[in-house]
Amino acid sequence: MIEVEAFRKASYDIDPIYVNRWSPRSFLDKEVPEDILHSVFEAARWAPSAANIQPWRFVTARKQTDRERFLTFINEGNVAWCKKAPVLIAVISKTDSETTGGHNQAHAFDTGTAWGYLALEAFRKGLITHAMGGFDREKAKEVLNIPENYNVHAIVALGYKGEKDLLMEQYRDREKPSSRKEVEEFMFEGTFAEK
């Protein structure tokens, strides 16, 4: 079992959930109960959004036929490990809004926040999540019947964590929490300054 403390340590006082949540690739062949899955989306429901538009949408694949449909637009390198995940999720945002009368400039920002809430609640429920950017967005829109005024941002694998020896050898060394930049590397006071 991975000891997160060996790879990560917060520099400032925060809740341990932020440090302990990471993105494993090894999934158990174990279904996620519907009530637990719905509670994960309940957390996403309560994310803040500009003008309360709530532009996020999620398409889930739990049945084998639906998961196989997702695998048609996910890059081969990701398919190698995510095909074992019991749930695949397309993270989508509506780019326009009747409230604003046109383009919703905050659609991606707000949807990213909802995904963050989802990921933290999943971890709290004993699940793991791994978001992927490696997929064909246009094909995903076609296969999932997503209209033009929506963007597909990520595909998320969700389920219960397996041991790294369940992975193909090429992924085993990567099956550990990643580090993060220090706050001082991305927080600027007054004006922006590239470091």
Rounded to whole angstroms, how far apart are CA atoms 159 and 36?
Answer: 11
pLDDT for residue 4 is more than 90: no
Identify the structural domains of the chain with CATH numbers, from first to last.
Answer: 14-164 (3.40.109.10)
Query: Residue 39: what residue type?
Result: S
In terms of Cα–Cα distance, which of 114, 118, 67, 115 is closest to 88?
A: 67
Rounded to whole angstroms, how far apart are CA atoms 82 and 90?
Answer: 13
**Per-residue pLDDT tens digits for 117-175:** 999 999 999 999 999 999 999 999 999 999 999 999 999 999 999 999 999 999 999 99
**Per-residue pLDDT tens digits for 45-62:** 999 999 999 999 999 999
